[in-house]
Each structure stands twice: as structure tokens, then as C-alpha cells.
């Protein structure tokens, strides 16, 4: 059985992951409206990843006989100030998600919940990768000033991203 403070934090994280998924889907819609299907594809894969993370937390809670409590998801932004702004906001959001994951780990440590600490380790490592990926794209966008032929080259490159479901055993 999961201690109440860990369960509460897990339920909050399920909500946060669902919010993240909707945020990235909103960003995909923004890019679609600009005619940048590769950028949109990258964000749709991000949406899939965040949805998969929510399910991973969901399955962990139910697998430990905890009760999942789903709450309303806050409205996500729908307007952005350009191609670069979207990835700047993505980086800010990923840094925020990292803080949430770190807090989950802190709650598990304080509760001496070793099973949850082990489970959260995957997410700690995942966030390092998430931030690095976004930082790389953002650096390239800034290098080309978010305009010109470089955008079309990036659009093609970002269209190649493939979703790998972390909930499927390999």
C-alpha cells in the first residue's frame, strides 16, 4: 500500500502529465496552422510521450492498490509569439516538470518508500533527456533566428521523430 503523501503526489503528477500532453497538443496545433507539419509532428510525439507518462503513473498507482483520482486539467495556452517562443516555453515547462519529478522523489524519500523511489528514478533520467532534447532544438532555432530556409530544414528533420511507448516491454 502506498502512503497517503506519496499517493497524493502521484495523483497530482498524473494531472500534471495530462496537462503537459494537452500543452504539447496545443503547440502542435499552432505549428499546423503555420504549415510546419514537422514541428507539429514533433509536438504530437511529445503529446504521446506525456500521455504515456500519465498512464505509467496510473498503472503504478493501481498496481500498488492505490486509488487514482483524476481532476480537471487547466486550460492550456493556445497562442504563441512565434516558432522560437514555442520551444522557449517548452523548455520552461520541461524544467518545471523536472521540479515536479524531483519533488516526487523527495516525498518518497521522506516517506521511506523505496519502491516509489525506484520507480521515480526512470522519470528523473527521462527529464534529463527531455531538457537536453529541447535545449538542442532551441539552440538551433536561435542560431537561425527562427526564420529562413533553416526552418524548412528543421521542419523536415523534426518530422522524423518516432514515438517509443515506455509502457510496452521490449
pLDDT digits (tens, 9 = 90+) for 32-62: 999 999 999 999 999 999 999 999 999 999 9
- Domain 4-72+79-158 adopts which CATH fold? Ferritin (1.20.1260)
Q: How confident is the model at residue 170 (pLDDT cuts 50, 70, 90)?
A: low
Query: How many angstroms separate the CA atoms of 40 and 28, rounded?
Result: 4
Residue 71 clears pLDDT 60, i.e. is over it: yes
Q: What pLDDT, on the 0 to 100 scale, is given for residue 80?
A: 97
Mean pLDDT over 76-91 rounds to 97
Could you tell me which residues come within 8 angstroms of residue 12 by beta carbon, excluding any fewer than 6 positions away? 100
Closest C-alpha to 134, from 49, 75, 55, 52: 49
Amino acid at each position: 500500500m502506498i502512503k497517503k503523501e506519496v499517493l497524493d503526489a502521484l495523483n497530482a503528477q498524473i494531472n500534471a502529465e495530462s496537462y503537459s500532453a494537452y500543452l504539447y497538443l496545443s503547440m502542435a496545433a499552432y505549428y499546423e496552422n503555420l504549415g510546419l507539419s514537422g514541428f507539429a509532428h514533433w509536438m504530437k510525439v511529445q503529446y504521446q510521450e506525456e500521455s504515456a507518462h500519465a498512464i505509467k503513473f496510473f498503472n503504478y498507482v493501481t498496481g500498488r492498490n492505490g486509488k487514482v483520482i483524476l481532476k480537471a486539467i487547466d486550460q492550456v495556452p493556445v497562442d504563441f509569439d512565434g516558432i522560437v517562443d514555442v520551444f522557449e516555453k517548452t523548455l520552461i515547462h520541461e524544467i518545471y516538470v523536472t521540479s515536479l519529478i524531483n519533488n516526487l522523489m523527495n516525498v518518497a524519500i521522506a516517506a521511506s518508500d523505496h519502491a516509489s523511489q525506484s520507480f521515480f528514478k526512470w522519470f528523473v533520467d527521462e527529464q534529463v533527456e527531455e531538457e537536453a532534447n529541447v535545449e538542442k532544438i532551441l539552440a538551433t532555432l536561435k542560431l537561425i533566428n527562427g526564420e529562413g530556409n533553416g526552418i524548412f530544414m528543421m521542419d523536415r528533420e523534426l518530422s522524423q521523430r518516432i514515438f517509443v511507448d515506455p509502457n510496452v516491454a521490449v
